[in-house]
Amino acid sequence: MGELAIKSNSDIKLSMPVQFLKGVGPARAEIFAKLGVVTVGDLLEYFPRDWVFAPEPKKISQLETGETAAIVGLVESTDFQNYRRPAIFEAMVSDDTGICRIIWFNGGYLRDQLRPGQMIMVWGKAGEYKHQLQLTNPKFRIIEAATKKGPDPFFFNGGVYPASGGLSSMQIKKIIRPVLDNLGGLVGEFYDDEFLKKAELIKRKDAFGWIHLPPDEGKLAKAKRRLKFDELFLMQLGLALRRHRNSQFASAVAMKSSDEIDRRIRKRFPFLLTEDQDKTIAEIVADMQRPIPMNRLLQGDVGSGKTVVALYATLLAVANKTQVAIMAPTEILANQHFISIERYLRNSDVKRVMIAGGLMGKKRDEVLKEVKAGDIDIVVGTVALLEKDIEFKKLGLVVIDEQHKFGVHQRAELRKDGTPHCLVMTATPIPRTLAMTVFGDLDVSIIKHSPPGRGAVVTRWVAPEDRPKAYEFIRERLRAGKQAYFVYPRITGIEEEGDIKAATDGWRELSKVFGEFKVELLHGRMSSAKKEQVMTEFRRGKIKALVATVVIEVGVDIPNATIMVIEGADDFGLAQLHQLRGRIGRGTDKSFCFLFADKETENEVAKSRLEMMERSNDGFEIAEHDLKLRGPGELFSTRQHGLPDLKIANIIDDYDLLVMARRCAFELVSADPMLTVPTHRNIRQSLITKFGDSLGLADVA
């Protein structure tokens, strides 16, 4: 521990490194760091994974058959009876009043845990075997600490911690004990008594005490509720402050809109816009007319017409003599956007260019020179648009498609040329909980309904034995002039995972199965020129079947492609399956999506995904189901949204608390936007400690 170790509990501070706590030292501090525990504050938030509520121990002589009770005694002997069926691990435990037989069926795992000479506490249902008192399959705790009165309840009740190779749950418990004894001086309250009463929350200090050592299950539930609320409140407060800062301390070009501009833009679309599209455009125009940067998320199901809405916003910015950057995660999607723009802007004076990895040398230099001079109105590209040599003269709007594929820091990069309005789009419908967290600092517009005239999409889960029938059906559709996608999880096979079908193998096989048609391969490792050539031929109908990886997941819009086969469908996530299916049903004809997977799949989650795909075409329903199946952890990654992971709250299970926390956080920022009121000092300090760097709250600090 060294000379800097604490001398008394009163020396403990939340910011103090755990190394200086009694029983830690440099070696254990390294183990703690791997668990995400660096300071005393981190240790307080290293919450138990389970809790023990054992009854008050009795003497062995007081045990009665049929009752659930606890005893504390010495392990006299142990015996693993492997020859019995089932095998039995037996321990004889004694106290000063008698001896009790303890057995665990299939208890071989206890041979390394329980040994003669140990003091243990055991609790379970008392029974009798051959006139001898016995506890069967009870719970137990090895007792490492005792007082003159007997075992210290702290060590056999309360939290059970996620352990690691070098730290047991009991060791963590011992280390955290002095911290809990000093909570009064460590944990500051956030709210006044009136709010706590109204919100039915206990004091913050009590919550930390009871989460680690709850007197009973009722108090544990209250502790969890308070700490979950605080965690969600601080997150929402960070988002509210980020949103406030964007609206107050940044300025953008106020775009003028008029009936004449509206008429000219709509003239470019050879169809009437839907009610949802009109409503969303009105929201975007209202944002862009203000001198405050728009931060809007446009979400809509696959094929709902988001691109048209984004192009309306783009043309409004161009009409106001500013430039627009449109960024997509892949070259294929960027190219698809560019093709759409070309289709709508044919014979117009709007100058547009696509910048991708393939644009090099003198040609690239000339394009960048034009962009810098303001001679190009619309620039479409991938992450290549973030490169330092690309400068805009007057960037008025940034449109980011499939924005969940970009990190929060990448989005910030696009603002190096001023503070443009920002429209982010996703065809992955976002559950309401994620909309309030991952995208909590954005305004949200939703396009719920697809444009009229779209063909229905029928989805079927195909078992291996039914595959020949599916192939025959597909052959008939290809003969009728339609086209098909065959999507595979991988480009090439992997020996250890030989059951996962690869696109290259599938292409060879399908070229034989559908020998009368042109079958081509498309994947991310191909050169830009080759990818473009394949997509152009597929778009023109020369290629009848396209074998691909998920490189075609978003943005590919070919109305004549009415068949989608997803190979190894049980290896894909639900959102990705829905995205892939969205590549068909783009025209007026009926389309078919075949999910090739083992009908007897043992993975219940995979089975549930495939059944949901058969049952529903509603992206929002599918997104909610996906969130429940996968949990927020997988969808809610820190890397993408810049928010620390939640330690105790769950945005699905604690939705009501999330709503309440969001309302309180936004009300607080409205009343005290810089958190300078003295009564908000504790909130401010906790917010800076927890979210300062990730949310860029330097101005609050």
SS3 sequence of 120-158: EEEEEEEEEECCEEEEECCEEEECCCEECCEECHHHHCE
In the CATH scheme, what is the homologous superfamily, with its name and number, of domain 457-633? P-loop containing nucleotide triphosphate hydrolases (3.40.50.300)
Length of the chain: 701
Half-sphere exposure of 383 toward its Cβ, with a 13 Å CA cutoff? 12
CA neighbor of 568 nearest in space, from 491, 515, 514? 491
pLDDT tens, 312-332?
Answer: 999 999 999 999 999 988 887
Sheet strands (E) in 434-489 = 443-447, 457-462, 483-487
Tokens 């517009």: give the residue.
445
Q: For position 637, what pLDDT does the model report?
A: 43
Check: CB of residue 108 under 8 Å from CB of residue 80.
Answer: yes
For 54-156, CATH number out of 2.60.120.10, 3.50.50.60, 2.40.50.140, 3.40.50.170 equals 2.40.50.140
Please return the burial class of 19, using the count of CB atoms within 10 Å of its CB with bins 0-12, 13-18 and 19+: buried
Please return the burial class of 422, using the count of CB atoms within 10 Å of its CB with bins 0-12, 13-18 and 19+: buried
Q: How far is CA 38 from the centre of its chain?
A: 25
List strands edge to edge, sheet with 421-426: 352-355, 378-381, 323-327, 395-400, 421-426, 295-300, 443-447
Q: For position 550, what pLDDT does the model report?
A: 79
Please return the burial class of 430, using the count of CB atoms within 10 Å of its CB with bins 0-12, 13-18 and 19+: buried
> Tokens at residue 632, please?
């927020």
Q: How far apart (Å, rounded) are the C-alpha atoms in residues 195 and 200?
A: 8
Helix axes 619-630 and 604-615, enclosed angle (nearest 10): 170
> Tokens at residue 206, please?
């009590």
pLDDT tens, 648-663?
Answer: 988 878 888 999 999 9
- Summary count for the chain: helices (H), strands (E): 25, 24
Architecture of the CATH domain 259-289+305-426 = 3-Layer(aba) Sandwich (3.40)
Q: Alpha helix (H) ranges present in 327-459? A: 331-344, 361-373, 408-413, 432-435
Q: For position 4, what pLDDT does the model report?
A: 41
Domains 259-289+305-426 and 457-633 share a fold: yes
pTM of the model: 0.69
CA neighbor of 159 nearest in space, from 180, 145, 138? 180
CA neighbor of 642 nearest in space, from 411, 383, 370, 385? 411
Q: For position 643, what pLDDT does the model report?
A: 61
- Strand 443-447 vs strand 457-462: parallel, antiparallel, or unpaired? unpaired
- CB atoms < 10 A from the CB of 449, how many? 13
CA neighbor of 568 nearest in space, from 537, 590, 601? 601
- CB atoms < 10 A from the CB of 139, how many? 13
Q: For position 413, what pLDDT does the model report?
A: 62
Q: How far apart (Å, rounded) are the C-alpha atoms in residues 523 and 512?
A: 20
- Strand 421-426 vs strand 395-400: parallel, antiparallel, or unpaired? parallel
Dihedral of CA atoms 590, 594, 425, 416 in degrees, nearest 10, equals -130
Check: CB of residue 143 under 8 Å from CB of residue 119.
Answer: yes
Mark the ranges of the chain whose per-residue pLDDT is less than 50.
Answer: 1-7, 147-148, 494-499, 634-640, 698-701
Segments making up each domain of the chain, as ranges: 9-51+160-186, 54-156, 259-289+305-426, 457-633
CA neighbor of 504 nearest in space, from 524, 484, 488, 528? 488
